[in-house]
Amino acid sequence: MKEFAGKHLVLGLSGGVACYKSAELCRLLIKAGASGQIVMTEAAEQFITPVTMQALSGRTVYGSQWDTREPNNMPHINLSREADAILIAPCSADFAARLAQGRSDELLSLLCLARPAERVPLLLAPAMNREMWVHPATQRNFAQVAQDGATVLGVGTGEQACGETGDGRMLEPAELMEELSAFFAPKQLVGQHLLVTAGPTFEAIDPVRGITNLSSGKMGFAIARAAREAGAEVTLVAGPVHLPTPRGVRRINVQSAEQMLMAVEQSVDAATVFVATAAVADWRPALASEQKIKKDGSGEVPALAFVENPDILARVAQSPRARAGQLFCVGFAAESHDLLAHATAKRLRKQVPLLVGNIGPATFGQDDNALLLIDAEGHRELPHASKRVLAQQLVADIASRLRAAPAAPRRVGAQVLV
């Protein structure tokens, strides 16, 4: 099932160079299963033609309140009432000023004013030159529109079409899609703070070599994103991976297991849920050489001695807050076979209320996975799906556990831990 299946959006374009990004945004929305009605101001049509937007949305574009296509000649009423949300992207400084004043002398602002505000949310993606963005009049207008019930999305920073650099760029289409997902996601984790570890660790042998594993971090990043979308505050401690940080998530980059432990210890007191998805190296070289170990031609191979890494999850799970039920701990197990037996044993060994099993070789680096959720009562399968969908399902599962036992002593095995 596509993420936006069944959702109908009015995508409004006001005048700005960022209109070119709205074409891509429209394409992404349609690809994600949404239907989109494009409404453009006269200024927007200076930047991109309705032909492009019609082709991408599969619907004729509206630009005038005098459009006779609607039998009752009221496009502002008809279009606004059938929408699940109205997204103005780009929202120019002028358009924000018009919204702030409740102006209604062209279709797009008229439609925003006429929408049933309690059931049709209005989202704005500002786009303008950096001086225009920081101008008190613009800030005042966006603050007013937000106070009137609209959701003002952030702006990007960087090079602008005018040649200047700073704040005010419209968010990229993929970022806007993330914002929309977050907006529509059920807010099941409001008030919770998730601490998530993700990715592999890298254990140095010398300054240019080390030991790592094939974990891509995708599952942990998807969980961080889904938790954030569900309304939680999220801290993500990430091993060395090349993945973009989910919007709104605080990320701490680490390399080794010891660094990961340190980052976790610094953040765990504020957390209410700890999800350990990281594939932490079990051992590290006992002594990392300060200089590159050289091959001297003698044929002699260096002997590497290892020491065991700290078990981050086991430590956190044994902390007083976890034992008192104030910190809900979720572990992961990547196994190659006998998933249920190994993961069940691991749950008891690590003393966590919930352990999520998956088949390591089948999931590392992939975009999809299948999960097995194991708790004191038994187990439940989350069948094969994208990591995005599985992360949403896992977050929903964690949320229902938190609702069922808010900050209560937790049951790991047969006995209750207090």
* Contact assessment for residue 249 and residue 226, using Cβ atoms and an 8 Å cutoff: no
Minimum CB distance to ligand C5P smaller for 111 or for 263: 263
Minimum CB distance to ligand C5P smaller for 221 or for 332: 332
| Span near ligand C5P by CB under 6 A; candidates 14-22, 130-138, 223-231, 272-280 | 272-280
Query: Rounded to whole angstroms, how far apart are CA atoms 117 and 147?
Result: 12
For ligand C5P, the binding residue among 99, 333, 339, 412 (CB under 6 A) is 333
Minimum CB distance to ligand C5P smaller for 160 or for 197: 197
Minimum CB distance to ligand C5P smaller for 350 or for 388: 350
Give min distance, CB of 227 to ligand C5P, in A.
16
Query: Rounded to whole angstroms, how far apart are CA atoms 216 and 366?
Result: 8
Contact between 276 and ligand C5P (CB under 6 A)? yes
Give min distance, CB of 309 to ligand C5P, in A.
5
One symbol per residue from 291 to 320: x for binding ligand C5P (CB under 6 A), - otherwise; what is it?
------------------xxxxx-------
* Contact assessment for residue 234 and residue 224, using Cβ atoms and an 8 Å cutoff: yes
How many residues form the binding site for ligand C5P (CB under 6 A)? 15
Give min distance, CB of 122 to ligand C5P, in A.
41
Spatial strand order in the sheet of 85-91: 35-40, 8-13, 85-91, 122-126, 151-152
Minimum CB distance to ligand C5P smaller for 57 or for 256: 256
The reply to whether 91 belongs to the active site is no
Give min distance, CB of 23 to ligand C5P, in A.
41
For ligand C5P, the binding residue among 85, 195, 227, 280 (CB under 6 A) is 280
Contact between 278 and ligand C5P (CB under 6 A)? yes
Contact between 114 and ligand C5P (CB under 6 A)? no
Structure tokens that stand for 100 in this block: 């702030």
Give min distance, CB of 332 to ligand C5P, in A.
4
Minimum CB distance to ligand C5P smaller for 177 or for 333: 333
Q: Which of residues 169-198 bind ligand C5P (CB under 6 A)?
A: 197
Query: Rounded to whole angstroms, how far apart are CA atoms 71 and 52?
Result: 25
Give min distance, CB of 2 to ligand C5P, in A.
31
Out of 19, 26, 112, 162, the active site residue is 162
Give min distance, CB of 139 to ligand C5P, in A.
43
CA-only gyration radius of the chain, Å: 26
Contact between 257 and ligand C5P (CB under 6 A)? yes
Contact between 332 and ligand C5P (CB under 6 A)? yes
List C-alpha distances in Å: 86 to 151, 247, 330, 392. 10, 21, 38, 24
Q: Which of residues 336-365 bind ligand C5P (CB under 6 A)?
A: 346
| Span near ligand C5P by CB under 6 A; candidates 18-26, 40-48, 229-237, 326-334 | 326-334
Minimum CB distance to ligand C5P smaller for 160 or for 272: 272
| Closest to 321 in 3D by CA, of 368, 268, 365 | 268
Residues noted as catalytic:
162
Which residues make up the interface to ligand C5P (CB under 6 A)?
A: 197, 257, 276-278, 280, 309-313, 331-333, 346
